[in-house]
Amino acid sequence: MATNHLQNAEYLKAAHLPHQLPDDTGQEVAFAGRSNAGKSSALNAICQRNGLARTSKTPGRTQQLVYFQVRPEHYLVDLPGYGYAEVPLHLREHWKAFIEGYFQSRKSLTGLVVVMDSRHPLKDYDRQMVDFAFRRNLNCHVLLTKADKLSRSAQAQTLAKVRKELGGVASAQLFSSPDKLGVEEARAVVSGWLGLAKAE
């Protein structure tokens, strides 16, 4: 098994306003996804740290930009889950402005992982996140989560369809936290973007 360069990730801080973000130096990879897509579970699986990111049966628990430090000036960023109807309108508007500003101005941001439920991929919000990455010329990788809910043939069909629709703008893979499907592949992508996946 390859070395896990992310296993020392620790909670650093949560930011609700731009001035609360860490200094814009170093490298960071952001994780975005709909509130019920399994984003926190994916983060925990990739880092091999149960409980690192909060998981909940109530979607929408991540309500700030949550920073995890892998090593000094190397971060993973858990973005607020999007598309959840019960979040108050004023909070949704705040997130929208905050996250758009973050994508437009954050120099440390080296890549974006977009987490999508493999049974319902490429919804409007998902496409918007991929577009953010494209416009910033950022690395972008799609995790098609909950792949264990699909048959093998459905997995293959979904992956092929999503890759075709992305048209090379982002890479994509199947992922399942419970089955550990695709965990090492995703970990290698994120570690590489952070400059951690050097030759051992």
The boundaries of the domain holding residue 23 are: 10-193
In the chain, how many domains are there? 1
Residue 92 maps to a domain: yes
A 10 A CB-CB count for 188 gives 16
pLDDT per residue as tens, the chain (200 positions) = 678 999 999 999 999 899 999 999 999 999 999 888 999 999 999 999 988 987 655 555 556 899 999 999 999 999 988 765 566 788 878 888 898 999 999 999 999 999 999 999 999 989 999 999 999 999 999 999 999 999 999 999 999 999 999 999 999 999 999 999 999 999 999 999 999 966 34
Instruction: Decide if 3 is inside a domain.
Output: no
Residues 198 and 194: their CA atoms lie apart, in Å, by 10
> pLDDT per residue over 131-180, tens digit each?
999 999 999 999 999 999 999 999 999 999 999 999 999 999 999 999 99
Residue 200 domain-assigned (yes or no): no
* Structural domain includes residue 2: no
48: closest CA among 113, 11, 4, 112?
4
Taking a C-beta distance cutoff of 8 angstroms, is the pair 101, 24 a contact? no
CATH number at residue 139: 3.40.50.300
Residue 18 domain-assigned (yes or no): yes
Query: Which token pair is 11?
Result: 């909670």
